[in-house]
Amino acid sequence: MEWIKQVLSQNALWSLLLCIFIQFISCNTDDLPQRARNLMESSPLIDGHNDLALQLRRIYKNRLSKINLRTINTTRTNLQKLKTGHVGAQFWSAYVMCSAQDKDAVRLALEQIDVIKRMCEDYEELEFVTSSLGIEITKKIGCLIGLEGGHIIDSSLAALRMFYELGARYMTLTHTCNTPWAETSSDDLHKFYQGRKSLTDFGTEVIREMNRIGMIIDLSHTSSNTSREVLAISKAPVIFSHSAVFALCGIKRNIPDDVLLSIKKNGGLVMVNFHTEFIACRKTANISTLADHFDYIKKLAGPGSIGIGGDYDGVTGFPEGLEDVSKYPLLIQELLRRGWQDEEIRGVLRDNFLRVFRDVESIRDQQLNLRPSEKEIPEDELSYTCRLDLQNFQQRSAKASGIQEISISAFTLITYMLSCIFIFW
């Protein structure tokens, strides 16, 4: 009966091993929420793009006094949900509609910056920050500003610099319209500056100036050729603040493979957009569809090139399970389930963006000897419908000040004569 004993004990051994194995697997699977939570608590998310400010304008005319941002439920973003989602810093988009190009885009952008600043001032959960260090040391949710649409600077490098002074830290070169100096990926939506290709000479100067002052270049919404041109000339790493992969959903708004490879070379970052129409080219999608974009970029450009730019409140369709900003941990669980390493996930959440931001800052600091650019866009590259004609303005004001001088001296003369007459009287 020795052999029976042996088989039994072997079976027992095997079942024991099997048991341990199953335990290990189920243990690991059950632990996914916990592992995701642990990772996000120690590495809170820096998200590249949120359009809450657009909704504040659209629904509330920027009247913050009328709403409570902690619990507001007409938007996909509120402060409670940001906390649940382990968001540590958020780029709030100061977005301006293309239809305001060459009209009041500058004012509208100022108003969006104003509402973002007031929001971050009003709530103790938020803190306005403008540097990589600021993000790292805040104990609150860091508020950052991204300008969405190059039409916001109205082709003025002076305006670009002043937006930086107000705290804007990236600028998306185009929205869905060409600017006088850069080409959009949505070439059929608006009639502005048709025929613009890639970057003009002035566009190249915008890139140089952004590199010089430390404004991150955002290539989301730009045409692939604009992206290629910028990647060829930018001294600093660039980002896509909210874009997805062309190979998985072939629309022009997404990033083609050669540009993904250039991003890797540039040390830049793709912050992946969650919008169903961008990730699945359909109205519906699930977390797995989205995770495919992460896997794809990781394989082609490496885990150091990936971040998150959910685009909440900027678009309507989101994957099942990712309906609002409290749901980011479910994506992290899915990446863990697919075998992503902790360090890779910390990169996606936070470290990759911080690396890019620090590099942009250090390239700025290496160019402190460069003077601000005084280049102006050639007048014939602009549409002048709503601009003051400065050519005439300069002549007119010269004439006006001439008249003033004459009238002042005539006035002085008469006063002098009168006082003389009075004194000698």
**Which residue blocks in 31-75 are alpha helix, DSSP H?**
32-42, 52-60
Element holding 143 (H helix, E strand): strand 141-148
Q: Smaller CB distance to ligand NAG: residue 130 or 289?
A: 289
Q: Which of 6, 28, 99, 288 binds ligand NAG (CB under 6 A)?
A: 288
Given a contact cutoff of 8 angstroms between Cβ atoms, the answer to whether 146 and 170 are in contact is: yes
Q: Which residue of the set 102, 229, 311, 359 is catalytic?
A: 311
Contact string 343-362 vs ligand NAG (x = CB under 6 A): --------------------
How far are the Cα atoms of 259, 350, 352 from residue 39, in angstroms, in the given order?
A: 30, 11, 15
Min CB(286)–ligand NAG separation in Å: 4
Strand pairing of 306-308 and 141-148? unpaired
Q: Which of 50, 289, 305, 333 binds ligand NAG (CB under 6 A)?
A: 289
Nearest alpha-carbon partner for 47 in 138, 127, 142, 178: 142
Output DSSP code: residue 178.
-
Contact string 23-62 vs ligand NAG (x = CB under 6 A): ----------------------------------------
Min CB(197)–ligand NAG separation in Å: 6
- Interaction between residue 73 and ligand NAG (CB under 6 A): yes
Within residues 138-167, the interface with ligand NAG by CB under 6 A covers none
Q: Which residue of the set 49, 86, 190, 293 is catalytic?
A: 49
43-53 per-residue burial string, b: 16 or more CB within 10 A, e: under 16: bbbbbbbbbbb
Output DSSP code: residue 247.
T
Catalytic residue status for 242: yes
| Dihedral pair phi/psi, residue 107, rounded to 5° | -60, -45
Half-sphere exposure of 235 (CA within 13 A, CB side): 19
Within residues 234-263, the interface with ligand NAG by CB under 6 A covers none
- Interaction between residue 225 and ligand NAG (CB under 6 A): yes
Q: How far apart are CA 148 and CA 134, in angstroms?
A: 22
Q: Which residue of the set 47, 102, 127, 148 is catalytic?
A: 148
Q: Which residue of the set 86, 151, 190, 242 is catalytic?
A: 242
Catalytic residue status for 175: yes
Contact string 99-138 vs ligand NAG (x = CB under 6 A): ----------------------------------------
Q: How far apart are CA 156 and CA 102, in angstroms?
A: 12
Catalytic residue status for 148: yes
Q: Smaller CB distance to ligand NAG: residue 48 or 319?
A: 319
Catalytic residue status for 275: no
- Copy the structure tokens of residue 129: 């920050």
- Interaction between residue 178 and ligand NAG (CB under 6 A): no
Min CB(225)–ligand NAG separation in Å: 4
* Contacts of residue 163, Cβ cutoff 8 Å, sequence gap at least 6: 109, 113, 147, 152, 153, 171
How far are the Cα atoms of 152, 178, 181, 207, 230 from residue 200, in angstroms, in the given order?
A: 17, 11, 5, 11, 11
Catalytic residue status for 221: yes
Q: Which stretch binds ligand NAG (CB under 6 A): 5-13, 155-163, 284-292, 339-347?
A: 284-292
Element holding 184 (H helix, E strand): none
Q: Which stretch binds ligand NAG (CB under 6 A): 120-128, 164-172, 282-290, 305-313?
A: 282-290
Output DSSP code: residue 267.
T
How far are the Cα atoms of 91, 146, 150, 341, 347 from residue 298, in angstroms, in the given order?
A: 23, 25, 29, 12, 11
Contact string 385-424 vs ligand NAG (x = CB under 6 A): ----------------------------------------
Q: Smaller CB distance to ligand NAG: residue 76 or 212?
A: 76
Q: Smaller CB distance to ligand NAG: residue 132 or 223?
A: 223
According to DSSP, the residues that pair with 47 across neighbouring strands are 90, 308
Q: Smaller CB distance to ligand NAG: residue 290 or 348?
A: 290
Q: How far apart are CA 402 and CA 398, in angstroms?
A: 6
Strand, coil or helix: what is 42? helix
| Dihedral pair phi/psi, residue 87, rounded to 5° | -85, 125
Catalytic residue status for 351: no
Catalytic residue status for 311: yes
Q: Which stretch binds ligand NAG (CB under 6 A): 37-45, 259-267, 281-289, 304-312?
A: 281-289
Residues serving a catalytic function are 49, 51, 148, 175, 221, 242, 311
Binding site for ligand NAG (CB under 6 A): 73, 197, 225, 286, 288-289
